[in-house]
Amino acid sequence: MLTKIGDKWTIFVVLSLDLLGGRARFSELERAVPGISQRMLSSTLKNLERDGMVIREVFPEVPPRVEYEMTELGRRLLHPTQGLVDWAKENWEQVREAQSRYDER
Amino acid sequence: MLTKIGDKWTIFVVLSLDLLGGRARFSELERAVPGISQRMLSSTLKNLERDGMVIREVFPEVPPRVEYEMTELGRRLLHPTQGLVDWAKENWEQVREAQSRYDER
DNA sequence: CTGTATCCCCGAGGATACTG
DNA sequence: CAGTATCCTCGGGGATACAG
């Protein structure tokens, strides 16, 4: 469970989707999450959809358009996730210093 | 950074160490974290020590005794981590249901 | 545009045995 | 007791090409 959140991209996708207003199409997310591949974005979204965190909506147009929208359940994940991000921001520097000290020995 | 927390064991070790009063020896942690191997406990603790989250203290006795103590920095990680655990507890059921619905199609 | 299919590599991590 | 050393497997995930 926590392992799912801990995979490489889920947190970034969730946060990006939120930043984009809770709703975005595939290509927007692709641009919003630097470094993610189509393969991993697709896979991550599929998992989020399966877990009920995101709803996938297909518009039968040409060219195709697909939008992803966060559900209430997904939005609830935002707070603990943001807590983690904040923690990282606030303590990153101290961690780096600890690592430097450790590595010098 | 978040990737480190996201690895398989860090969260469990941190939470267990807290449950054990913020200080415990290797074998206590081994028992407190079901399923972890010596190899992974050792490696996880080494990373936590390097990051300044934990202090390793060796007692020159026979048989050897080593104790690990959470630092203030480590303790600060507890809150966001606990937030994640709480989230999981509260929403686990809904996620399972969403998965069932998804898998039926 | 929104994916899927393939191929491939690397490292996380399990099992087991050994050591100071 | 508290690890380290070795071996080995498995799957996450990158790169690239292709498809509807």
Name the closest nucleotide to A41, judged by C1' and CA.
Answer: C3
Say what the pLDDT of residue B2 is: 73
Is pLDDT at A3 greater than 80 in this prediction?
no
Residue B39, CB, less than 7 Å from strand C?
A: yes
Q: What is the mean pLDDT of residues A80-96?
A: 94
What pLDDT, in 10s, does the model give residues B60-72?
999 999 999 999 9
pLDDT band at A65, cuts 50/70/90? very high
Render each residue's pLDDT in chain B as its tens digit; 105 residues: 676 788 899 999 999 999 999 999 999 999 999 999 999 999 999 999 999 999 999 999 999 999 999 999 999 999 999 999 999 999 999 999 999 999 988
Is pLDDT at A29 greater than 80 in this prediction?
yes
Q: How far is the CA of B23 from the C1' of D19 (A)?
A: 57
SS3 B55: strand
Rounded-to-integer distance, Cα A45 and Cα A41, Å: 6
Identify the structural domains of chain B with CATH numbers, from first to last.
2-104 (1.10.10.10)
Q: How far is the CA of B38 from the C1' of D5 (A)?
A: 13
C-alpha closest to that of B101 among A78, A61, A73, A63: A73
Residue A8, CB, less than 7 Å from strand D?
A: yes
Say what the pLDDT of residue A101 is: 95
Say what the pLDDT of residue B74 is: 97
Q: What is the mean pLDDT of residues A72-84?
A: 95
Q: Which helix (H) or strand (E) holds A58?
A: strand A54-59
Say what the pLDDT of residue A20 is: 98
Angle at A81 between CA A14 and CA A94, to 5 degrees: 125
Q: Which two tokens stand for residue B1?
A: 């950074």
Rounded-to-integer distance, Cα B72 and Cα B62, Å: 30
pLDDT band at A96, cuts 50/70/90? very high
Q: Amino acid identity of B22?
A: G
